């Protein structure tokens, strides 16, 4: 018996070592490219750090400056607008599309999934170039259709007018954001226990009641995941801004991510940029925690 | 059991390999230089004998037995962004210096700065870089990252290279961080066909390529009245091509961007305010925050605009070669009250990052000396840029009608103020200011805000 125990311990130890060995490459990657930069980011945020000069410890000065910086506060406001608009719209739109297409015949459902997923796998630069052409002030398709149908009197400078620029960015962001939630929702809806739905229908439940009382609760984990991922992606909106507006006009499309990039890579203010990064990370963490909490309470 | 062990081993190998692949240096964009030229004469090396004969290295250059591996990162300065052209020039170099191996990486203006800054932070900066004084001198030089090239600037070199270029290649305390190769004067251009049809050619001097501020207004109005409602655009979505908008504003009433000492931004002068107010009031001139210089060039070529403020010889050459232009382009200096335009110049040359290896620094200097000073190679190096030499090399574009046409603008090259401190922040503040003006902010208020931001950035450095 004792012999068996020692053998099983050896086996467990060997399997444990093998398990850690398999994890090691990923662990090295995770420590090197996630944990270390995170620690470094927090550490550097307390310094006046720039290129080719010793860092100077400044305590919380970067954080104090942040909240006196009008451009940063404007960027924070723009980022919050993007999140507040795009997260619910993305979730509601993708849930609606998914509920319509999930029980279609295989090829039709796949075709829709492909169509909505295409902008996700298309490179940001290609997406930005096409949208820039469509929004063009002089010969863009939106102005062409708008003026020819009488919807608008004269051409609108969509990306060059601060009244419209942020809305245009949100619109583009939506097209690139809905693909993944649709695929996830289609999959989740297909996994809903059909016996429960059928039982409810036999008991006289309407389609809406079936959805709200049975399907919705079963796809809640997926919804939670989508909410968290979409929130994070919206907070990290950068490529579209960089490629289309550079934060303009008049800082109306500046986001925190773009302002971090501008300070860190254009002005070489690494400490200040890192302080913004820390603030952004805290906001995202708090919001994600709230979303988890709300989902748990339901 | 053996099968499982084998599978586990194989999977481990795959994971380790993939990790190694992720960590390997990305050399995808790198174009390895040709191997050192063979000692025995081939047809090519015979052709290059003239290079060897005419080689006049500076005192600091090592002899032909010098050996080092160096890296050159080049921005797309004409054909210096083209691998075939650069490889040919490096082959010439290796015919004389077979043991100096040059690896080239080609940058673009969108990501080039980020690539170099990332490399600097990772202690992987290139040995050589080809760009202008605003980066080599005012940015990396001022940060103490570049090698002092004073020994390449011999008395002979100083006597040959134009004074304005010399002053741009050194820091305020007189340290040379750039050895120049070529230069150009940025112009504007008009669609001659539209101007002719609108009867606006009478307002400009086609021969000298100049016009007065008053005639510029009349010409724009004539083109606008003709039906071309988008005559030109003060583009301001980003910094691309911003020298055009600066030159336009500064020239109209004789304003300046900085003081003569390059220590203070003077864009809030009365002349500049008057110029911006004039542009804002003109029919046909749009302040457009959705386009930058490159977009403006495309829209000029496709006929959307009748004039471009972001223009030079290379723009015309490249767009003509690509078949983008189907009208007669007339290059013009920016309009002035005085009749003497001050064009914004572009200067490009080599700088060396101080990577702490004397052998590489010496090899890099040898490379610069060969490319910029060798009697035959210097002409080829300059012609590859599609710009003009920074010293008298004779008429290197003899028979080239396009380059001869643009050569008349070189004497109008104005002060190279881009070496002023706080340049990166000031550039951004400039197009932000234009956006404010375009959206209706009072010109004086916007310009004063710009000057305050830019001067604060200058004094912070």
Q: Which of B18, B113, B288 sits opposite A160 (nearest CB)?
A: B288
pLDDT of residue B341: 94
CB proximity B290 to A under 8 Å: yes
Tokens linked to A234: 């919206």
ipTM of the complex: 0.84
Angle, helices B375-385/B83-96, rounded to nearest 10 degrees: 170
Residues 6+ apart with CB under 8 A from A144: none
* A153 and A18 share one domain: no
* A7 and A135 share one domain: no
* A151 and A27 share one domain: no
Answer whether B172's CB lies under 8 Å from B262's CB.
yes
* Interface touch A25/B19, C-beta < 8 Å: yes
Neighbours of B276 (CB within 10 A): 26
**What is the band of B100 on the pLDDT scale with cuts at 50, 70, 90?**
very high
- The CATH number of the domain holding residue A161 is 1.10.3720.10
* Interface touch B435/A138, C-beta < 8 Å: no
CB proximity B90 to A under 8 Å: no
Residue A53 lies in a domain: no
- The closest alpha carbon to B204, from B364, B352, B339, belongs to B339
* Interface touch B290/A135, C-beta < 8 Å: yes
pTM of the model: 0.83
Asked if the B43-184+346-410 domain carries CATH number 3.40.190.10, the reply is yes
Look at B39-48, B121-130, B445-454 and tell me which has the smallest mean pLDDT: B39-48
Q: Which of A25, A52, A250 sits opposite B144 (nearest CB)?
A: A52
pLDDT of residue A104: 82
Distance from CA of A161 to the nearest CA of B (A): 7
User: Distances in Å between the alpha carbon of A132 and those of A245, A261, B306?
Assistant: 10, 22, 22
* A20 and A159 share one domain: no
Taking contacts as CB-CB distances below 8 angstroms, the residues of chain A near B304 are: 138-139
Residue B37 has pLDDT above 90, yes or no: no
Distance from CA of B161 to the nearest CA of A (A): 31
Distance from CA of B134 to the nearest CA of A (A): 13
* Interface touch B290/A267, C-beta < 8 Å: no
pLDDT of residue B50: 39
Residue A211 lies in a domain: yes
Counting Cα atoms < 13 Å in the Cβ hemisphere of B202 gives: 8
Taking contacts as CB-CB distances below 8 angstroms, the residues of chain B near A29 are: 19, 22
Q: Residues 399..428 of B with a Cβ closer than 8 Å to A: which? A: 424-425, 428
Helix H, strand E, coil C: the string for chain B is: CHHHHHHHHHHHHHHHHHHHHHHCCCCCCEEECCCCCCCCCCHHHHHCHHHHHHCCCCCCCCCCCCCEEEEEEECCCHHHHCHHHHHHHHHHHHHHCCCEEEEEEECCCCCHHHHHHHHHHCCCCCCEEEECHHHHHHHHHCCCCECCCCCCCCHHHHHHECHHHHHHCECCCCCECCEEEEEEECEEEEEHHHHHHCCCHHHCECCCCECEHHHHHHHHHHHHHHCCCCCEEEECCCCCCHHHHHHHHHHHCCCCCECCCCCCECCCCHHHHHHHHHHHHCCCEEEECCCCHHHHHHHHHCCCCCEEEEECHHHHHHHHHCCCCCCCEEEECCCECCCCCCECEEEEEEEEECCCCHHHHHHHHHHHHHHHHCHHHHHHHHHHHCCEECECCCCCCCCCHHHHHHHCCHHHECCCHHHCCCHHHHHHHHHHHHHHHHCCCCHHHHHHHHHHHHHHHHHHC
* Interface touch B18/A25, C-beta < 8 Å: yes
Distance from CA of B230 to the nearest CA of A (A): 9
Q: What is the mean pLDDT of residues B134-161?
A: 93
Q: B103-134, pLDDT tens digit by residue?
A: 999 998 878 888 999 999 888 999 999 999 99
* Interface touch A135/B425, C-beta < 8 Å: no
Please give the CATH number for the structural domain made up of B187-342+422-460: 3.40.190.10
Torsion angles phi and psi, residue B333, rounded to 5: -75, 165
Tokens 């930069």 sit on residue: A37
Q: What is the mean pLDDT of residues A26-36?
A: 94
Angle, helices B358-373/B375-385, rounded to nearest 10 degrees: 80
* A271 and A234 share one domain: yes
Q: Is A298 exposed, middle or buried (0-12, 13-18, 19+ CB in 10 A)?
A: exposed
Q: Give dist(CA A176, CA B94) in Å, integer.
A: 50
Tokens linked to B280: 């804002």
pLDDT of residue B166: 92
Tokens linked to A190: 């297909």
Number of domains in chain A: 2
Cα A112–Cα A115–Cα A118 angle in degrees, nearest 5: 145
**What percent of chain B has pLDDT above 90?**
68
Q: Give dist(CA A165, CA A295) in Å, integer.
A: 34
Burial A260-276 (b: 16+ CB within 10 A, else e): bbbbbbbbbbbbbbbbb
Q: What is the mean pLDDT of residues B68-83?
A: 93
Answer whether B144's CB lies under 8 Å from B333's CB.
no
* A13 and A83 share one domain: no
Q: What is the mean pLDDT of residues B9-19?
A: 46
* Interface touch A29/B22, C-beta < 8 Å: yes
Distance of CA A163 to the CA centre of its chain: 24
* A34 and A127 share one domain: no
Q: Residues 124..143 of B with a Cβ closer than 8 Å to A: which? A: 143
User: Distances in Å between the alpha carbon of B370 and those of A239, B53, B56, B392, B420?
Assistant: 41, 12, 8, 17, 30
**What is the band of A51 on the pLDDT scale with cuts at 50, 70, 90?**
confident
* A139 and A31 share one domain: no
* Interface touch B15/A160, C-beta < 8 Å: no
Taking contacts as CB-CB distances below 8 angstroms, the residues of chain A near B230 are: 138
Counting Cα atoms < 13 Å in the Cβ hemisphere of B166 gives: 15
Per-chain mean pLDDT for chain B: 86
Shortest CA distance from B425: residue in chain A: A267
Q: Give dist(CA B284, CA A285) in Å, integer.
A: 50
Shortest CA distance from B430: residue in chain A: A250
Q: What is the mean pLDDT of residues B340-364?
A: 94
Neighbours of A139 (CB within 10 A): 12
Q: What is the mean pLDDT of residues A167-196?
A: 92
Per-chain mean pLDDT for chain A: 91
Q: Give dist(CA B347, CA B180) in Å, integer.
A: 7
Residue A33 lies in a domain: yes
In chain B, residues under CATH classification 3.40.190.10 are 43-184+346-410, 187-342+422-460
* Interface touch B290/A137, C-beta < 8 Å: yes
Look at A73-87, A231-245, B108-122, B267-281 and tell me which has the smallest mean pLDDT: B108-122
pLDDT of residue A295: 73
Q: What is the DSSP letter of A249?
A: S
* Interface touch A262/B428, C-beta < 8 Å: yes
pLDDT of residue B62: 47
* Interface touch B432/A248, C-beta < 8 Å: yes
Shortest CA distance from B287: residue in chain A: A160
* Interface touch B145/A51, C-beta < 8 Å: yes
What is the residue range of A11's domain? 2-44
Q: Residues 143..182 of B with a Cβ closer than 8 Å to A: which? A: 143-145
Specify the higher pLDDT residue, B64 or B229. B229
Residue A106 lies in a domain: yes
Candidates B289, B422, B425, B427, partner chain A, best to mutate (most A CBs within 10 A): B289
Residue B47 has pLDDT above 60, yes or no: no
Taking contacts as CB-CB distances below 8 angstroms, the residues of chain A near B238 are: 246, 248
Q: Give dist(CA B399, CA B153) in Å, integer.
A: 32
Taking contacts as CB-CB distances below 8 angstroms, the residues of chain B near A157 are: 288-290
């Amino acid at each position: 018996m004792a012999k068996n125990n020692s053998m099983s311990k050896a086996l467990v130890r060997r399997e444990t070592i093998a398990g850690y060995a398999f994890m090691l490459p990923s662990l090295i990657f995770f420590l090197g490219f996630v944990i270390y930069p995170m620690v470094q980011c927090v550490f550097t945020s307390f310094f006046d750090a720039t290129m080719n000069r010793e860092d100077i410890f400044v305590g919380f000065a970067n954080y104090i400056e942040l909240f006196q910086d009008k451009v940063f506060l404007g960027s924070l406001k723009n980022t919050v607008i993007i999140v507040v608009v795009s997260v619910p719209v993305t979730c509601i739109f993708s849930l609606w599309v998914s509920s319509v297409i999930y029980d279609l015949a295989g090829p039709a459902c796949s075709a829709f999934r492909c169509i909505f997923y295409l902008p996700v796998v298309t490179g940001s630069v290609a997406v930005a170039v096409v949208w820039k052409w469509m929004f063009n002030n002089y010969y863009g398709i939106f102005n062409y259709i708008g003026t020819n149908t009488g919807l608008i009197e004269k051409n609108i400078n969509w990306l060059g007018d601060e009244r419209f620029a942020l809305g245009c960015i949100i619109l583009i962001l939506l097209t690139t954001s809905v693909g993944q939630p649709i695929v996830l929702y289609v999959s989740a809806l297909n996994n809903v226990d059909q016996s429960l739905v059928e039982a409810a229908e036999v008991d006289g439940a309407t389609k809406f009641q079936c959805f709200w009382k049975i399907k919705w609760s079963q796809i809640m984990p997926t919804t939670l995941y989508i909410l968290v991922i979409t929130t994070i992606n919206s907070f990290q909106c950068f490529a579209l801004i960089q490629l289309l507006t550079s934060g303009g006009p008049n800082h109306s499309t500046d986001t925190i991510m773009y302002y971090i990039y501008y300070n860190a890579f254009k002005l070489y203010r690494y400490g200040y940029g890192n302080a913004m990064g820390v603030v952004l990370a805290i906001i995202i963490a708090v919001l994600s925690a709230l979303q988890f909490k709300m989902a748990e309470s339901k | 059991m053996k099968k499982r062990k084998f599978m586990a081993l194989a999977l481990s190998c795959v994971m380790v390999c993939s990790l190694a692949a992720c960590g390997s240096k990305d050399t995808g964009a790198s174009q390895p230089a040709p191997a050192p030229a063979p000692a025995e004469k081939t047809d090519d090396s015979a052709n290059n004998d003239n290079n060897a004969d005419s080689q006049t290295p500076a005192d600091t250059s090592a002899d032909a037995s010098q050996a080092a591996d160096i890296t050159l990162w080049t921005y797309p300065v004409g054909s210096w962004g083209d691998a075939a052209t650069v490889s040919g020039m490096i082959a010439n170099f290796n015919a004389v210096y077979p043991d100096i191996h040059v690896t080239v990486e080609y940058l673009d203006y969108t990501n080039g700065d980020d690539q170099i800054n990332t490399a600097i932070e990772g202690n992987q900066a290139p040995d050589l870089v080809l760009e202008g004084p605003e980066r080599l001198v005012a940015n990396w030089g001022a940060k103490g990252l570049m090698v002092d090239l004073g020994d390449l600037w011999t008395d002979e070199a100083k006597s040959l290279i134009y004074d304005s270029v010399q002053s741009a290649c050194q820091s305020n305390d007189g340290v040379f961080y750039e050895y120049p190769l070529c230069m150009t004067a940025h112009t504007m251009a008009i669609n001659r066909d539209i101007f002719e049809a609108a009867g606006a050619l009478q307002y400009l001097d086609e021969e000298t390529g100049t016009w007065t501020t008053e005639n510029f207004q009349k010409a724009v109005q004539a083109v606008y009245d003709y039906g071309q409602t988008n005559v030109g655009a003060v583009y301001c979505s980003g910094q691309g091509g911003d020298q055009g908008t600066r030159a336009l504003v500064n020239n109209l009433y004789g304003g300046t961007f900085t003081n003569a000492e390059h220590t203070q931004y003077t864009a809030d002068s009365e002349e500049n305010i008057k110029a911006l107010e004039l542009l804002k009031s003109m029919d046909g001139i749009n302040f457009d925050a959705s386009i930058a210089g490159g977009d403006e060039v495309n829209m000029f070529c496709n006929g959307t605009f009748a004039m471009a403020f972001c223009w030079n010889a290379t723009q015309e050459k490249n767009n003509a070669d690509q078949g983008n232009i189907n009208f007669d382009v007339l290059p013009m200096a920016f309009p002035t009250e005085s009749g003497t335009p001050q064009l914004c110049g572009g200067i490009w040359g080599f700088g060396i990052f101080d990577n702490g290896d004397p052998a590489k620094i010496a090899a890099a200097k040898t490379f610069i000396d060969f490319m910029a000073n060798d009697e035959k190679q210097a002409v080829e190096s300059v012609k590859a840029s599609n710009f003009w030499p920074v010293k008298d090399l004779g008429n290197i574009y003899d028979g080239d009608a396009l380059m001869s046409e643009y050569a008349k603008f070189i004497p109008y090259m104005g002060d190279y103020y881009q070496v002023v401190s706080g340049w990166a922040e000031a550039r951004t503040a400039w197009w932000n200011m234009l956006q404010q003006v375009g959206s209706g902010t009072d010109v004086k208020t916007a310009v004063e805000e710009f000057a305050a931001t830019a001067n604060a950035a200058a004094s912070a450095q």
